Amino acid sequence: EISEMSERSKQNVAHGLAWSYYVGYLKIVLPRVKKSMEEFTSNNPNLLACRKTWKLHILIPLSCDVYDDLEKADSNIQYLTDLTETTLARAGTKKRVYKHSLYAIRDEENELWHCAVEYATPLQSLYAMSQDECAAFSREERLEQAKLFYRTLEEILKGSKECAGTYRLIAYEDPGEAETHFLSREILWHLRQQHHEEFPVHEETPPPTPSTTLDSAELNLQISMSDLPQPLRSDGF
């Protein structure tokens, strides 16, 4: 009966996507991110001076609007290069390649900030389901699923020791009106926050402009906790 209720409310969709994303991808690549950053920095010491930004920045637009080319999403985001790739045998595929792209983000003063950034790819599945009659996903249901995906992924990663300090989730709502450089501003806000964590600023320095990025507290107000799926384990993790 509980399973049928979960099926009807589609709670298992976002929950399953979050776990699949973690087990099948993030748990594999995140523990190797800092090593890739170190190797890149040894040859390019000035680009990633702030160690706090040596993370994979994961974009989570709640609209599920994912661009395959970040440069087309925002002209202030420029592809720079790929970090050192990881090659593994995976599910029958020999030498499967995992890699991340490094981008230069241009700010209002024409200064470049560098980071590894990519979208959470399961959001493409949520978007595709909302366009497929068989899935019967409305736009409102897609939004709720995106929120639940973010909340579930955040909880999973918080409990993962091997992934600690290797990622930064950037969940946000797209602006109502088209803003040319909205995405670059979102990423820059997070990069500046990390710089302030590593390099304390003078008290007279004005704080950075608040981001429109959503945190988990805001999402808690938008999602009923009673509707969330229960954890698969009962030992507190």
Task: Please indicate, yes or no, if residue 206 is contained in any of the structural domains.
Answer: no
Which range marks the domain in which residue 23 is found? Answer: 17-43+51-198
Q: Provide the token pair at 82.
A: 């790929």
CATH number of the domain to which 178 belongs: 3.40.50.12100
Q: Is the dihedral of CA 182, 184, 190, 196 positive or negative?
A: negative
Task: Please indicate, yes or no, if residue 9 is contained in any of the structural domains.
Answer: no
143-159 pLDDT per residue, tens: 999 999 999 999 999 99
**More confident: 152 or 140:** 152
Beta carbons within 8 Å of 65's beta carbon, 6+ residues apart = 127, 174
pLDDT value at position 49? 82
Lowest mean pLDDT among 37-51, 110-124, 150-164, 196-210: 196-210
Entry field: residues in the chain = 237
Say if pTM beats, i.e. exceeds, 0.85.
no
Task: Please indicate, yes or no, if residue 174 is contained in any of the structural domains.
Answer: yes
**Mean pLDDT, rounded, for 2-24:** 73
74-105 pLDDT per residue, tens: 999 999 999 988 888 888 888 888 999 999 99
Query: H or E stretch including 58?
Result: strand 56-61
* Domains identified in the chain, total number: 1
Strands 93-98 and 77-82 turn out to be: unpaired
